Amino acid sequence: MSQPTVILATASYDHTIRFWEAKSGRCYRTIQYPDSQVNRMEITPDKRYLAAAGNPHIRLFDVNSNSPQPVMSYDSHTNNVMAVGFQCDGNWMYSGSEDGTVKIWDLRAPGCQREYESRAAVNTVVLHPNQTELISGDQNGNIRVWDLTANSCSCELVPEVDTAVRSLTVMWDGSLVVAANNNGTCYVWRLLRGTQTMTNFEPLHKLQAHKGYYILKCLLSPEFSEPHRYLATASSDHTVKIWNVKVLRWRKH
C-alpha cells in the first residue's frame, strides 16, 4: 500500500501509536505499544523513523514499514522519558527523563553516549538551533543549558523556585526562549544579539498565560510563518491560546 503524502502520527495512554492520512482523517496503521503509555514522540528530520518515549524506554519505529516491531530500543533511563528529539541531520537523539537525567544517543552506535545530571525530574528538553546546546527544564523549577562542545552545564536559571518547568520552546533563529510552568506563567527571554551560545539571556516578559493552571505545552511558530511570530500555549484550564510575540517583545517586565 502506498503511503499518504501527508502523515499525522499520534500516540496515547491507550498503548497505541497510530498513523493517519491527514487530509482524509483515515487511520491506516496502528502499532501496539504494550510496555507502557507513550509520553512523547518525535519523527526524524528525514521522516524515516519515529521515536516513542515511554516508561522507561525509547523505541524507534520505521515510519514506512508495516512491521509492528521497533527497529531499535534505548533502555538506560530508569523512569518516565518525558522528552525526546533529534539533531538536524538525524545522527543523534536526545532525551530527558523523570530519573533526573538528560541523555544523548548516537543513532549509528549502540548505547548512551552522554549523560547529564539535572538532580530533579526532567520534564522538557529542547535543542537550540545552533545544534550545540540542549536546554532542560525540571520539576524543581530549574532551567539548565548543556553545552555539548564543553560537555558541561554552562548556565542555570530558576524563574520560580519549586515551580516545575513544564515546557520549553526556542525560536527557529535562536532569538527567543520561552519557559512555561505549573503556575500558568510563561517567561520570555531574548538571546543577546551577536552571541553564539545560549548563556546570555535578557528577560523580556513574564506572561500570565493561564494563571493558576498548569501549562502543558508552549510552542513558538516555525520559520515558514515569518514575518509573523506567535507563541501557542495549551493548559489544564481547557484552553489553547495564541500570543503575538512581537507585542510581547516590547512589554518588558
Examine domains 1-117 and 119-253 and report if their fold is the same. Answer: yes
CA-based nearest residue to 85, from 147, 208, 168, 196:
168
Centroid of chain to Cα 109: 23
Judged against a pLDDT cut of 80, whether residue 73 lies above it is answered with yes
Q: Which amino acid is at 233?
A: T
With a CB cutoff of 8 Å and minimum separation 6, the contacts of 97 are 56, 77, 78, 79, 80, 81, 82, 83, 103, 121, 122
Sign of CA dihedral 93, 97, 103, 107: negative
Confidence category of residue 72, pLDDT binned at 50, 70, 90: very high
Q: What values do phi and psi take at 247, rounded to 5?
A: -70, -45
Confidence category of residue 4, pLDDT binned at 50, 70, 90: low
Q: Are 189 and 215 in contact (CB under 8 A)?
A: no
Which pLDDT score is estimated for 33?
Answer: 95
With a CB cutoff of 8 Å and minimum separation 6, the contacts of 26 are 20
Confidence category of residue 100, pLDDT binned at 50, 70, 90: very high
Region 226-246 average pLDDT: 93
C-alpha cell at 192: 543577546
- Looking at domain 119-253, its CATH class is mainly beta
Judged against a pLDDT cut of 70, whether residue 250 lies above it is answered with no
| Per-residue pLDDT tens digits for 149-198 | 999 999 999 999 999 999 999 999 999 999 999 999 999 998 775 445 55
Q: What is the dihedral of CA 179, 248, 184, 216, to 10 degrees?
A: -50
CA-based nearest residue to 205, from 243, 239, 161, 156:
243
**What is the Cα–Cα distance from 59 to 220, expressed in whole angstroms?**
27
Confidence category of residue 126, pLDDT binned at 50, 70, 90: very high
Domain segments of the chain as ranges:
1-117, 119-253
Task: Assign 43 to helix, strand or coil.
Answer: strand
Q: What is the dihedral of CA 198, 201, 203, 205, to 10 degrees?
A: -10
Reported as type and span, the H/E element at residue 245 is helix 245-248
Region 90-115 average pLDDT: 95
DSSP bridge pairs for 178 = 169, 188
Question: Is CATH 2.130.10.10 correct for 1-117?
Answer: yes
